[in-house]
Structure 1
């Protein structure tokens, strides 16, 4: 494999991404909303809700009593307000964080072919002296690298926001915990790989960026379901469970990439175009 050719494809795609408003706007707005605005609102709203008298407070206490023993041990010595904040910012937001790598890799990968078809810039790339594998790997990296960069930056922003906004209640730096470290450095790369693998396969077979993004966006649905079941208290993402989730996503990503390498042929792309 010619690494220089792969790097050329990556540089070209990243340059096109920065020039596309349809791609850049969600890449900027979504991290700001999910990683700064929402955690700040939660940090201020949760303590206030704990002061509601009567059944509501009793219901909160009952909900927290149903937490697994490991989670209870981590919150030992916390007040009700501190437990609510820790649960919301440490656990409820954990699966929501995975939207970041999935969204970024999906948006960029969907733009990799379908968006270029709309802009009439694909033909020049198709006829470059690169192999199908080099072109495919370049397209993958042009989606995966920004997804990882934005996810890591979002992790830092979220950590600063969570600790600062919750400081009046927590009176300590409580973020991140071991589960979040597993999530960021093991699960996030796998989630980005799943998103880009699905989106590149889809975008190479449709004719518009919106169509490719909408179809490949289905990969976000399981993450939304995970957010809901954890909010309902059905499961709790421990470090071990998070590691297992990462392993599952890596298997899915490997299957998608293996399939993509086998079926990716620029001659078929030209014929469909």
Structure 2
């Protein structure tokens, strides 16, 4: 039977998944705690604790690896550090540059966790069959699952960015005497790269979730996308690749392209009747 596309049906599916994730504390609590570590604990540690530890700032700025990092840094990034003292340089370098790729773990964690619940979780809870017999199209069902992961992942990322901005400006304000964050690259990272990475990871996770029987199996397989973040983090730490505005722009284009390809394949290959026999 064929059904015409109705976006309301997709929203109903998404709302159902949101409710189930909130009720599953073993899934919900970790994805709420990790962002708090990234946006609260780490910034406060770097801005308030490290500067007060004897020799911490000097050790950071004089470290051979950091000297290599500063030497290889692009001119537009070096310009941001001009006129800063050692403490300010450490804070901007760590929270403004080095930490930037790791912030992408927030949207990835939300999107892959909820998307893995989309079908693998349904199979595990033995509720998939009733869901697949609903009078909605395959496209509406697939879109609803994608929306269930994409909307909260992107919204939470933006909220985390807003809170992170407040903390990294307020905590060291006595030292800077001004607002220094966000840096230009961060706007692209949050509003261009993050949604693209979310779209790519969700399409992949939903496709994987239809093939495995458990939530853990789907989550562990799809979480390999985090390696993308690790690669950029290592690349920036070693001075091989800096996350400049141009690099962020290209990253977003690549991720959007991959997301479009994977999403297209996932939609075309999705068949609810086949899921009942898998």
Q: Structure 1 pair 54/224, CA: closer, same or farther in 2 (3 Å)?
A: closer
Q: Structure 1 pair 259/50, CA: closer, same or farther in 2 (3 Å)?
A: farther
Supply the distance in 1 between the matched residues of 2:270 and 2:22 (Cα, whole angstroms).
26
Please list, as runs of the form range in 1=range in 2, the aligned pairs for 1:126-205 lying within 5 A after superposition.
Answer: 126-205=132-211
Supply the distance in 1 between the matched residues of 2:131 and 2:123 (Cα, whole angstroms).
11
2:57/2:90 contact within 8 Å kept: no
Supply the distance in 2 between the matched residues of 1:246 and 1:191 (Cα, whole angstroms).
8
Residues matched between the structures, number: 272
> Tell me, what secondary structure is at the counterpart of 1:235?
coil
Question: 32, 38, 51: which one pairs with 1:34?
Answer: 38
Q: What residue number does 1:62 align with?
A: 67
RMSD: 1.9
Q: What residue number does 2:78 align with?
A: 72
Supply the distance in 2 between the matched residues of 1:131 and 1:43 (Cα, whole angstroms).
52
Q: Deviations over 1:145-173 (max 9, x none)?
A: 01011111111121112112222332221
Q: What residue number does 2:25 align with?
A: 21
User: TM-score, normalised to structure 1's length?
Assistant: 0.93
Q: Deviations over 1:102-136 (max 9, x none)?
A: 11110000001111111122221110001111100
Cα displacement (A) at 1:65: 4.1
Answer with 39-48 or 179-188: which moved more. 39-48
Q: What residue number does 1:226 align with?
A: 232
Cα displacement (A) at 1:54: 8.0
Cα displacement (A) at 1:235: 2.2
1:11/1:142 contact within 8 Å kept: yes
1:46/1:85 contact within 8 Å kept: no
Q: Structure 1 pair 177/54, CA: closer, same or farther in 2 (3 Å)?
A: closer
Cα displacement (A) at 1:59: 3.3
Q: Structure 1 pair 53/255, CA: closer, same or farther in 2 (3 Å)?
A: closer
Cα displacement (A) at 1:33: 0.8
User: TM-score, normalised to structure 2's length?
Assistant: 0.92
Q: Which runs of 5+ in 2 are unaligned?
A: none
Supply the distance in 2 between the matched residues of 1:53 and 1:32 (Cα, whole angstroms).
25
Is 1:90 matched with 2:85?
no
Supply the distance in 1 between the matched residues of 2:272 and 2:57 (Cα, whole angstroms).
65
Supply the distance in 2 between the matched residues of 1:53 and 1:204 (Cα, whole angstroms).
50
